Amino acid sequence: MKSKERKSGLSGLFKYAKNYAALSVTGCIFSGVSAVMSLVPYVCLYFIIEGLFSTYPDYTNEKEVFDYGWMAVIFAAGSLVIYFAGLLLTHFAAFRISKNMKKAAIAHAVDLPMGYVSKKSSGKLRKIINDNADMTETFLAHQLPDTVGALVLPVAILIMLFMFDIRLGILCLLPMIIGVVFLSKMFVGKNMGFMQTYMDALEDMNSGAVEYIRGMPVVKVFQQSVYSFENFYRSIMKYKEFASDYALNCRIPMVGFTIATNGAAFFLVPAAIIILASTDNPKAFFLDFMFYALFSPVCGSMMTRIMYAAETTMQASQAINRIDELLEEKTLCDPDEKREPKDSSIEFDNVTFSYEKGQNPALKNISFLVEPGQTVALVGASGGGKTTAASLVPRFFDADTGTVKIGGVDVRDIEEEKLMRQVAFVFQDTHLFKDTIRENIRIAKPDATEQEINEALMAAQCDDILRKMPDGADTVIEEKGVYLSGGEKQRLSLARAILKDAPVIILDEATAFADSENEAAIQRAFEELIKDKTVLMIAHRLSTVRNADKIIVLEEGILKESGTHEKLLEKNGIYAKMWRDYRSSVEWKFKKEVSA
């Protein structure tokens, strides 16, 4: 069923229309009627010319000429009025449909696993939800009614081409047939997957641009250029190569299409000279020739409209498919049988996990237990699986095989809301909203009292931050020059976690990039945060794990060692080597600072 929807993405567009589909359909009908009416003035013109020929040189009694003239004006004006009325309806419907698409996509994204959102860059998600919905809005408001008009026109034009002279009609039709041949060459062969590749390239470039802009301070500090951001540079070059290749592939077909659709005179004039020399009624034939000479540009215009209609239809179809892909992503479903954790323990039971099918597992048969109230640290080289393991506890992802348990219950059997109440997170990369400090903290517990918020701020060592703020906890962050350092943001993030007061803490060591002053304050806040809590810590600085109840060493997704700091040093294995390397780096840094 899904594959069928994918093949004809536009067929699923009106599922977002709800009560507005009738407006869009009516607008398209108006566009078709307008397209037919726009051809009537050409017929009127034929009869006007015929009347002028037949009454030459005395036009005083030729009332029909004026009647046809007024008819041409009325139909031309009526065509415009009906067309704009149709556009009004399609615009009204398009805005509502676009809004419904965005609401559906955002509502679904909220229910997706956190892992999916973290894997997709904000630029790419914005492109999927916002830009694609806007693209369908433009299509529904403008291109769809124009496409209907472009599809109705050929039928009306074919009738008109054979209305007066079949021979001249065939000669006008011939360039259109040649144009269709050239047009098809632009959308087959190498160019068949053009629109999908084009949309992919735009998404990659959009994502790379967002990352580049966010990293601008780093670029400026280290005097780098766009070349230092390989993903962004690569996405630009990929788009450039694709656009250049496509333009070159379409060069000959496009030139041929343009010449053919605008070259009716190339066929008409020579044929007219030949036929005129042998016809019995040159006056009538010349009249027919003038009509076709005036009408043939309409055929070229129609072909151009069909070309653009085909392109925009493909573009809109791709946009809808991408939103449908997002909506088809599996959400975290509530379990059929909801169970309550008996305590705050964390257990990994033979867990294997891969980010995508076919990839090497990020975790391979991992098993360990964190008792209630214990602090367990995950250490190892980058890419070893530390963050992956921690992300399975709050169900950012679900394990492929094995089970992750909290309080003896599989996390997949715990209701999402209760699971989120059970776990608090503190990450290195913290996010604060453009709001007051108080509201940024309250997000962890919406019903918190003022006293609870103030106590959380004090416990997180944020008193010095509040003292320097113009309005204390009511100061709006990132407004009127109010900005916080990375360490200060991290302490506010800790205040959130303290206010939440969840029994399980997932801690991605927050002091990795803090200065010495902030690090000391953050360490004091940690002590307050982890009191009587079960803590799973991702450690980057080994100095912070010495007092952990257990240290787990992960290497390439495999649990290599487990034990206390002292026992692991006695083993003289991977952890012992990591500790020696860490001590050497600290001593080197200390000697360097002393010599400086």
Angle, vertex CA 141, rays to CA 137 and CA 145, nearest 5: 130
Report which DSSP code applies to 399.
-
Give the Cα separation of 443 and 499 in Å (integer): 9
Q: What is the pLDDT of residue 97?
A: 82
* Distances, alpha carbon 213 to alpha carbons 29, 207, 210, 512, 592, in Å: 45, 10, 5, 23, 34
Per-residue model confidence (pLDDT) at position 395: 86
Q: How many CA atoms lie within 13 A of 325 on its CB side?
A: 13
Residue 347 φ/ψ region, left for φ over 0, alpha for ψ in the -120 to 50 degree band, beta for the rest: beta
Q: Rounded to an integer, what distance in angstroms lies between the CA atom of residue 493 and that of residue 440? A: 9
Nearest by Cα to 554 from 304, 297, 378: 378
423, 394 Cβ separation under 8 angstroms: yes
CATH of 13-328, one of 1.10.510.10, 1.20.1050.10, 1.10.3720.10, 1.20.1560.10: 1.20.1560.10
Predicted local confidence at residue 3, as pLDDT: 41
H helix runs in 8-62, sequence order:
21-37, 40-55
Residue 347 confidence (pLDDT):
94
Asked if residue 499 lies in contact with residue 456, where contact means CB atoms within 8 angstroms, the answer is yes
Whole-model pTM? 0.60
- Reading the block at residue 226, the tokens are 């766009």
The CATH 1.20.1560.10 domain(s) of the chain lie at 13-328
Neighbours of 179 (CB within 10 A): 26
Largest CA distance in the chain: 119
Q: Which of 153, 136, 134, 135 is nearest to 31 (CA)?
A: 153
What class does CATH assign to 346-595?
A: alpha beta
Residue indicated by tokens 């294995």? 573
- By CB atoms closer than 10 A (0-12, 13-18, 19+), residue 82 is buried
Q: What is the pLDDT along the chain (596 residues), one digit of tens a residue?
A: 344 444 445 566 667 777 778 888 898 899 889 888 888 887 788 778 777 776 666 655 567 778 888 898 999 999 999 999 998 998 888 888 888 888 888 777 777 776 666 666 555 676 677 777 777 777 788 778 887 877 787 777 777 777 777 787 788 778 888 887 887 777 665 555 666 677 677 767 776 776 666 666 555 554 555 555 676 777 788 878 777 877 777 788 888 888 887 777 777 788 778 777 777 777 777 777 777 777 777 777 777 777 777 667 777 777 777 777 777 777 766 677 778 899 999 999 999 998 876 578 899 999 999 999 999 999 988 888 898 898 899 888 888 899 999 999 999 888 888 888 899 888 777 778 888 999 999 988 888 999 999 989 988 888 888 888 888 888 888 755 567 877 788 888 888 888 998 999 988 765 555 555 666 777 777 777 788 889 998 877 787 788 889 999 999 899 999 999 999 999 999 999 988 887 777 666 545 554 55
Q: Supply φ then ψ for residue 521, to 5 degrees.
A: -65, -40
Q: Are 521 and 492 in contact (CB under 8 A)?
A: no
Amino acid at 44: C
Q: What residues have CB less than 8 Å from 3, skipping those under 6 apart?
A: none
Dist. CA 335–CA 403, nearest whole Å: 15
H-helix segments, 393-429 = 416-422
Q: Is the dihedral angle over the CA atoms 527, 528, 532, 533 positive or is it negative?
A: negative
| Phi then psi dihedrals of residue 355, to 5 deg | -70, -35
Distance CA 413, CA 396 (A): 15
Residues forming CATH 3.40.50.300 domain(s) in the chain: 346-595
